Amino acid sequence: MTTVSILPAVQAFLARAHGHYIDGRTVVSEGPRIAVVNPASGQQVATVADATADEVDAAAASARRAFVGPWAQTTPAARADVLLRLAELLLTHREELAQIETLQSGKLLQISRAFEIESSATFLRHYAGAATRINGQTISPSLPSVNGELYTAFTLRQPLGVVAGIVPWNFSIEIAVWKFASALATGCTCVIKPSEYTPLTMLRIAELASEAGAPAGALNVINGRGQVGSQLISHDDIAKVSFTGSVPTGIKVGVSAMEAKLTRFTLELGGKNSVGFLKDVDADKAVAGILEAGFLHSGQICAAGERFFVHRSRIDEILEKLTHPLTALRIGDPLDEATQFGPLSNKPHFEKISAFFARARSEGDEIIYGGKTLDRPGFFVEPTVVRARDTHAALLNEETFGPIATFLPYDDEDELLALFNGTPYGLSASVWTNDLSKALRLASQIEAGTVWVNMHTLLDPAVPFGGAKQSGIGREFGDAFIADYTELKSVIVRY
């Protein structure tokens, strides 16, 4: 056992009264509170306030004041500096933030450190770099000249205003960074609404953003359940909603944003991501790929693979090989650095995954490995491998967002392509083969926002990410996000 000791800074943070971060300071109201539960033990670690309508108002108004006031006075380079300083502060507070994240979400401490802190710092630097590269175009109009007059035109990319960033529980820091760093880099300001299951980390990060030089109101955090997100979307001061979460909530968010005042919105939603192994795949690489695609962070990654299609001639061999590393996985306390597989992040999600196990059994799928909850405190389930009875199996069609890899054999590549595209979702997919020509042909035909070849799940700030079909609208990262956080204005000049 190498369970880390909780840092005094984390103990002191947890002992504080938690609420919101509005206008550069912590706000704790008297109203109802939400329990924050450690998924590894089922025990409460803190509580957080559920925002009142007045607090939502105050957060949006503060962000609006910052947008027209101090943040509007900054140059792109000054905005980049704030993001760069925040990246450094995240790394300085790496262990403190990682421990808070693990205590609220059950994420393995190594994943908290690597993804929530180190990768978030990398993303912050990417957005900092983008801040000074947000430009329009010059255009030569073809308007007719009657008396020798000439025309020129140019475009401006102007910040939309206050962005409401609504965030799920699976990556409480990283997904929030994608939203508020996009906003701050483009000159917008932001109100983040974390998930009610993971409300703590952003409170600390907003304090660090102030320390990094963000003026009061540039980054606010408002905590609460879905209702708080809903109030935020309809608020008059909100110019854009950047939402990450499930498809059903995303549809509600889009409708509310349209009804509010045609408020701009982008949606990063769920998926039912496919992983296809061609006939020539190396079995060891396939097994490593299944672990990467299906079981990283217990499958609680929007881009994780859930549908695994293997050539019929190889499926038995690959399923047999998969059993050994799954048996060897060390399941346990996410604060123990030796643990390889931790709990699910919250009780409703644990209940949802348990129900999928029961459904697979009752509907006639074959459970090859796992399929049970663990008899210990907290929200632990076994990593699970299922062979679907046919293409209609619920596990091949409904997002589980958990550690369930569902397999189906196929016979030829036309059938494989039909399986890839036979889902209303289109977030991500991967193709595994040594035949690059086949991989590239499939990549161009698969209906998904991201297609990986011989890898899965890993995201890079330079490469745009987002959903095709019902997995979303809009793209984050790369330069693609700029279009979604700015308004394009055309200026035409006669001279």
Among 245, 334, 342, 343, binds ligand NAD (CB under 6 A): 245
Among residues 116, 207, 292, 302, which one is catalytic?
302
The binder of ligand NAD chosen from 120, 186, 244, 400 (CB under 6 A): 244
Closest listed residue to residue 403, CA positions, set 269, 275, 284, 298: 298
Under the binding rule (CB under 6 A), the answer on residue 428 touching ligand NAD is no
Q: Rounded CA gap, 59 and 114, in Å?
A: 31
* Residue 229 found at the interface with ligand NAD (CB under 6 A): yes
Residue length of the chain: 495
Measured in Å, how far apart are the chain's first and last C-alpha atoms?
Answer: 76
- Residue whose CB is less far from ligand NAD, 335 or 459: 459
State the minimum distance, in angstroms, from the CB of residue 476 to ligand NAD: 7
Binding pattern for the stretch 260-299 against ligand NAD, x by CB under 6 A and - elsewhere: --------xxxx----------------------------
Binding positions for ligand NAD, 431-470, rule CB under 6 A:
467
The rounded distance, in Å, linking the Cα atoms of 249 and 321 is: 38
**Can 259 be counted among the known catalytic residues?**
no
* Shorter beta-carbon distance to ligand NAD: residue 318 or 482: 482
Q: In the complex with ligand NAD, which residue's Cβ is closer, 232 or 319?
A: 232
Binding to ligand NAD in span 330-369, by CB under 6 A: none
Q: CB under 8 Å to 196, separation ≥6 — which residues? A: 34, 48, 50, 223, 224, 225, 226
Contact criterion met (CB below 8 Å) for 124 and 212? no
The contact mask relative to ligand NAD for 147-186 (x = CB under 6 A, - = no) is -------------------xxxxx----x-----------
∠ CA 335-341-343, rounded to 5°: 70
What minimum distance in Å lies between the beta carbon of 152 and ligand NAD?
40
Q: How many CA atoms lie within 13 A of 227 on its CB side?
A: 6
188 is catalytic: no
427 binds ligand NAD (CB under 6 A): yes
CA gap 56, 35 in Å, rounded:
20
Please identify, among the stretches 22-30, 136-144, 189-197, 335-343, the one whose residues bind ligand NAD according to the rule CB under 6 A: 189-197
**Do 193 and 232 contact (CB within 8 A), yes or no?**
yes
Phi, psi dihedral angles at 319 (to 5 degrees) = -65, -40
Q: How far apart are CA 241 and CA 257, in angstroms?
A: 7
Two tokens, residue 153:
């035109």
Question: Minimum distance from CB of 253 to ligand NAD (Å)?
Answer: 5
Q: Which of 179, 46, 171, 44 is nearest to 114 (CA)?
A: 171
Q: Which of residues 366-405 bind ligand NAD (CB under 6 A)?
A: 399, 401
Q: Which residues are known to be catalytic?
A: 268, 302
Binding site for ligand NAD (CB under 6 A): 166-170, 175, 193, 195-196, 225-226, 229-230, 233, 244-246, 249, 252-253, 268-271, 302, 399, 401, 427, 467, 472
